[in-house]
Amino acid sequence: MNFIVIITLLSLLSYSSSFSFNVTSKKQCDTFELNWSGAKQGSVSFVAIPNGNPPDESKPDRVLVAQDIGDDVSGTYKFDRWPMAEGVNFTVTMSDGTGFGAGGTSDILVTELGDAPYYCGYSGNLAFSFYAEPEKNWDSCQTISLHPINKTTDSAFDYYAISPNSKPEHIERVTDNSAIVDYKFTQPVGSQVIIFATSEEGGVQYSSGGSSQITTLGKGDDTSCVKDLEPSPTDRAAPTNTGGSGSGDLSGGEKAGAAVGSILGAAALIGAIVAFIIFRRKKSAENHEHAQKVKNDHGYNSEFDEGLDGSYTPYVMNPGSHYTSSHHQLPTETQGLTETDVNRNSYSNATIPASPSTGGLLLGSNPKRRSGHQQQESTISKEPRYHTDAGPYVVHNDNDDDALVDVPPAYNFDGPNNHEHRT
């Protein structure tokens, strides 16, 4: 049980420390706001990529926004004059010191109308760019080629394949400004994909190489290379459903955490139930064994009684079919059997065994009682008759345990002349 608890706690701690974010506001020429947590090892940044067309800083519906926002583990960032026009679709990818896209990519978001009376304009910068061949109509397992444009510095740069609600796939690091890179799509049919380029020089807001327009993969002649997307800690829908609406559904990390928590919680519950059943069966077996020893008077001693819960079922004796009584008594004190009692209460075909000292003896029903020369029959009683043990007594002048002697049980079967009849 402790092992299961430890695994559960470790899983929850691991999930709670993952790098994720959430966009809470996105208004034209107004506030863009996001919250993040779990960032590690250095600078935190985000890239917002418009989905309609390749980025173009001169057009408001094609502005790519890349921003370094500090090195805090968690926090809130506000962009006061969001440059994307109302209705523009875009995705946000977040990074930290561990690498590009460590925080994953959001679902497709839509810029909303802000409070500004006019469009605010924005001056951006693309350090270089590239183009893909073919430019569109991509299929799963198809290979395209990527060609850099206007790359003038000697710094290396990287290509990434970005899909909504998933972590970016690193394509290749390039050190030759004229190198052509081939890339085969392994995303499932129907996935939406953007090719993005960025340099490691000067931070993402000064080194972005732009992106392709977003494209939905078709089904080609070969789909044998297809593999699942890696879920994003920030995804707002299933990673294979990349045409989402930007709604506030559970993120992929939350879904994974809930699934792991449910499985481990169910395992812990099952373990607890099994342990309880085993304990109860063991306890029941001990009680049954003790009751059998009491019943058969085999090896019984008082030490057995310690630690056992509950009462023990007394054994039943059927004293013969010729004894009846019209009275049903529960003796309240110990009474001795006199010679007169013995003569007056006779039994046929019945022998009363010695009673164990742990409880009363249940007598059988349907007795008959004889008194003098007259025999009276009574209605058959279904109520039990009990006796009270005299209990052990101590032989005087001897303090040994061996001096404890069981006194035979006393029974009282007085007739109607001595006791009031019970109805």
CATH architecture for segment(s) 20-111: Sandwich (2.60)
pLDDT in tens, 89-139: 999 999 988 889 989 999 999 999 888 766 676 666 678 889 999 998 999
User: Stretch 71-96: mean pLDDT, rounded?
Assistant: 90
**Looking at residue 129, what is its pLDDT?**
87
Judged against a pLDDT cut of 90, whether residue 243 lies above it is answered with no
Q: pLDDT, tens digit, for every residue of 291-307?
A: 666 666 555 454 544 55
pLDDT digits (tens, 9 = 90+) for 335-379: 444 444 444 444 444 444 433 333 333 333 333 444 444 444 444
State residue 193's pLDDT score. Answer: 95
pLDDT at 62 over 90: no
Q: Is the pLDDT of residue 213 over 50?
A: yes
Q: What is the pLDDT of residue 41?
A: 74
Domain boundaries, the chain: 20-111, 129-219
CA–CA distance, 382 with 127 (Å, rounded to integer): 102
pLDDT at 421 over 90: no
Q: What is the mean pLDDT of the chain?
A: 70
Number of Cβ within 10 Å of residue 210's Cβ equals 23
The structural architecture, per CATH, of the domain 129-219 is: Sandwich (2.60)
What pLDDT does 235 receive?
46
Lowest average pLDDT, out of 7-11, 48-52, 355-359, 417-421, goes to 355-359
State yes or no: pLDDT of 253 exceeds 50: no
Structure confidence at residue 35 as a pLDDT band (50, 70, 90): very high
pLDDT at 411 over 60: no
Long-range residue pairs from 364-368, CB within 8 A, at least 24 positions apart, any chain: 364/316, 364/317, 364/318, 364/319, 366/321, 366/324, 367/319, 367/323, 367/324, 367/325, 368/322, 368/323, 368/324, 368/325
If pLDDT is split at 50, 70 and 90, which confidence band does 237 have?
Answer: very low
234-251: buried (b, 16+ CB within 10 Å) or exposed (e) per residue? bbbbebbebebebeeeeb
Distance of CA 266 to the CA centre of its chain: 5
Instruction: Note the pLDDT tens digit of each residue in 264-323.
Output: 677 778 888 988 899 888 888 877 777 666 666 555 454 544 554 555 455 444 544 444
Segment 414-423 shows an average pLDDT of: 47
Residues contacting 398, CB < 8 A, separation 6+: none
